[in-house]
Amino acid sequence: MDKPLLNALQGKQPEVPPVWIMRQAGRFLPEYRAIRKENSFLDMCKKPELATEVTLLPVEMFDMDGAILFSDILIPIEPMGLNLEFIEGRGPVFHNPVRTREHVEALKSEGVSEDVGFVYEAVSRLRKYLPDDKTLIGFAGAPFTMACYMVEGGASRNYTWLKSMMYNDERSFRLLMEKLTTVLEGYLSSQIRAGAEAIQLFDTFGGILSPFDYERYVFSYVKRIFTTLKRQFPGTPLIYFAKNGFAFFPLLQELEADCLGVDWSVSLTDAAKRSGNSFVLQGNMDPVVLFGGSDVIEREARRVISEGRTIKGHIFNLGHGILPETPVQSVRTLIKVIRCSQPSS
């Protein structure tokens, strides 16, 4: 059976771009909220039956080409030794943030990926239930984005703790990044072994650094993860999404990735040029367009699709996660516009 999303990631672009949406298995779905009412978010991540059910919801409702595993980038941090809590209305909080050399040294990294067996169980269940034409995407947060949460202790405005560690105590910062890289290599390899057909690495906070600091402090770890995965699993496509990462797109050409995620602050055409036309691009409609009328949704989706036809390959997605307040009907409209977009139209 043909898998449009996997094909596109492997450079065999279908006529109509394949589509999935970041955070598609989330709070904008009434069905999600109903399950969530009975279970905590962490429980949903840790129970493979629930994670499987929630992953499949948007795939069935909207006929998405991709299913992204229901989990969270912060899941592997708990077994490293931090206490993770999701607080209603505030988001994730670590009550024991990593601030000193001793804190970093105390973090576990060896064997951590084996402590989250529930993730791999969900992945292998999903491969059983997912229709053959759909592609199962595994994921993780990139080391820097994970480090941001661990050092700040939660969401942050200026990332002062993290950047202070980076500038003033580079050895501790690098040890933390090393440990995270080791954990993530094991974690992503295990997801692929369990049945993930493609991997996306989320570097949501990459763009808070200057391109110089990104190159100096962050890039080598991202590169190591991609090199390791490509060597172990040459047939598994890899996606890198760095929000606000346009400034360092030229550098990303060194990455053994197949696809780059693009946010809506740049055109796909410029993103392709700046990354040497060497990647399939994924994105990049503004998530808030889905709060507009169907005429606006259609106009914007068509613009993104026609730009996508001029580059090496294109997977339709939003430029970041779908927002919880998004009307479900807008997603239906969007998918209809994409499916009806033959090259001549």
- The span from the CA of 246 to the CA of 270, in Å, is 9
Residue from 284, 321, 330, 331 that binds ligand CP3 (CB under 6 A)?
321
CB of 306 to ligand CP3, least distance (A): 26
Q: Does 78 bind ligand CP3 (CB under 6 A)?
A: no
- The span from the CA of 307 to the CA of 284, in Å, is 10
Per rule CB under 6 A, count of chain residues that contact ligand CP3: 23
> Contact 200/130 with Cβ under 8 angstroms?
no
CB of 158 to ligand CP3, least distance (A): 16
CB of 341 to ligand CP3, least distance (A): 23
Nearer to ligand CP3, 186 or 207 (CB): 207
Nearer to ligand CP3, 64 or 266 (CB): 64
- The span from the CA of 246 to the CA of 193, in Å, is 32
Residue from 28, 70, 249, 316 that binds ligand CP3 (CB under 6 A)?
70
Residue from 182, 189, 204, 333 that binds ligand CP3 (CB under 6 A)?
204
Q: Does 68 bind ligand CP3 (CB under 6 A)?
A: yes
Ordered DSSP codes for 209-237: S-HHHIIIIIHHHHHHHHHHHHHH-TTS-
Is residue 284 classed as helix, strand or coil in its secondary structure? strand
Q: Considering only residues 120 through 149, tell me which ones interact with ligand CP3, judged by CB under 6 A.
A: 139, 141
Residue 283, strand partner residues:
262, 316
Handedness of CA 272, 286, 58, 295 (dihedral sign): negative
Question: Which residues contribute to the site for ligand CP3 (CB under 6 A)?
Answer: 22-27, 36, 41, 68, 70-74, 86, 91-92, 139, 141, 155, 202, 204, 321
